[in-house]
Amino acid sequence: MLRWLTILGQSSAILTAYVALHFPLPLWPCLTVIAVSAAVNLGAMARVRRLEASLPDGRLTALHLGFDIFQLGVLLGLTGGLENPFCLLLVAPVTIAAAALPARQALLLGLLALLAVAILFFWSEPLPWRPYEHFALPTLYRFGMALALVTGVVFTAGYAWRVAADAEKLELALATTQDVLQREQRLAALGGLAAAAAHELGTPLATIQVVAKEMQRAAPPGGDLAEDADLILQQAERCRASWPSCRASPRATTPSMPTWR
C-alpha cells in the first residue's frame, strides 16, 4: 500500500511538472521507471496472496526496500538529483528498514541510501525548470543538501531502530508477566481445589472417627473388634494429619495457597 501511494505521488508530480508547469523533463524515462515499480508491486501482491498464511520474509522485505531506494535514486537522477526537493524521500525506506528489519539488513540499506546520495551529488540531470529561466544551485548548497540527507538518514534510522528495540523489550517483558500471572492463577486454582477437597473429606473422616470410637467403646477389650476400631482411628488421624489445611485470608478475594503439614 505504501508503494502504491508512492507510485501515485511520483506520477502526479511528474505529470504536473510536465503538463501544468511545462518543465522540460524526460517524461518517458521517468514514466518507465515508475511503471517498473508498479510491475514489481503487482508481483509482490500476487506473491502475498499465494503465501498469505506464511510468516514475513525479512530478506525479501529488505530486497523490496532496496529496490525502492534504487528506483527513487534513478528517478531523482533524471529530475535534478539533490536539487530536487523530493530527495528527502530517501530517508523513508531506511527508516522503515530500521524499524522492521534486523540490524544487519537495516545497515546495508542505510549504506545503499548513502551511496545513492553520493552518486546524486556527482551525477544527475539538470533540475527541470522553466525554459526561459536559468536555475542553478551553488555546489556548496548541494553539498549542504547531501550532508543534510546523510544526517537525516543516520538520525531517523537510529531513532527508529532504538524505538523498535525498546518496543521489542517491552513486548518480551509483557509476555513474561503474562506467563507469571497465568502460573499464579493456576496455583491459586490448585489451592482452591485442595481446600474444596479438604472440606469434602473432612466430614467423612469425622464421621469415621465418631463411629470408630463408638465401636471401640462397645467392643470387649483385647478383642478383634477393638483392634479394628483402633486401626480405623489411627488411619483416620493419619489422613487428617497429612491432608493440607487451607486457611482463607479474610482480606483475600481468591483462595490462598494450601499450607502443607
How far is 136 from 7, CA to CA, in rounded Å?
Answer: 28
In this prediction, residues 11-26 reach a mean pLDDT of 91
The contacts of residue 29 (CB under 8 Å, 6+ apart) are: 78
**Would you list the DSSP string of 189-211?**
HHHHHHHHHHHHHHHHHHHHHHH
Angle at 48 between CA 50 and CA 108, to 5 degrees: 135
Determine whether 154 is exposed, middle or buried from the number of CB atoms within 10 Å of its CB (0-12, 13-18, 19+). Answer: middle
Q: Give the other-Cβ count within 10 Å of 72's Cβ.
A: 22
- Bridge partners of 211, per DSSP, are none
**Beta bridge mates, 259:** 245
How confident is the model at residue 118, as a pLDDT?
A: 93
The pLDDT value recorded for residue 56 is 62
pLDDT tier at 28 (50, 70, 90 boundaries)? very high
- Confidence check: pLDDT of 9 > 90: yes
Distant-in-sequence contacts of 54-57, Cβ < 8 A, 24+ apart? none
Tens digits of residue pLDDT in 91-105:
999 998 888 888 888
Contact 93, 69 (CB under 8 A): yes
Q: What is the pLDDT of residues 146-202, one digit of tens each?
A: 999 999 888 988 888 888 888 888 888 888 888 888 888 888 888 777 777 766 666
| pTM of the predicted model over 0.85 | no
3-state secondary structure of 245: strand
pLDDT of residue 112: 94
Q: How far apart are the first and last CA of the chain?
A: 65
Q: What is the pLDDT of residue 243?
A: 57
Given a contact cutoff of 8 angstroms between Cβ atoms, the answer to whether 36 and 72 are in contact is: no
Q: What is the pLDDT of residue 244?
A: 52
Question: Where do we find the cell 531506494?
Answer: 69
For CA atoms 217, 219, 222, 225, the dihedral sign is negative
pLDDT tens figures, 34-88: 999 999 999 988 887 776 655 566 788 899 999 999 999 999 999 999 999 999 9
β-bridge partners, 245: 259
